[in-house]
Structure 1
């Protein structure tokens, strides 16, 4: 089952649902669904496997 995380676009500040595969860790690039600008997405996992996700301008 995929993880769902709410993130806020660092450009247009709209909140969006980001779906993250349970095996995903590290850094990836994702475009905003609203303004189409690129984000740098950081995905870390705690000891229980829960995601900690942050985004910044790419």
Structure 2
């Protein structure tokens, strides 16, 4: 399970961009109390499907 700052570092995105991905459900997460955690598998899947989505546009 990754924290938002860890995902920010791995994707080289800002906090708002990561929360936008979570809000739009492009990146899966779970809530633990008030905290958000991103399963490592969800981040891996997001990274692998991203090039497919961009070439489809």
| TM over 0.5, shorter chain | no
Q: Identify the structure with the greater helix proportion.
A: 2
Q: TM-score normalized by structure 2?
A: 0.36
Per the normalisation by structure 1, the TM-score is 0.35
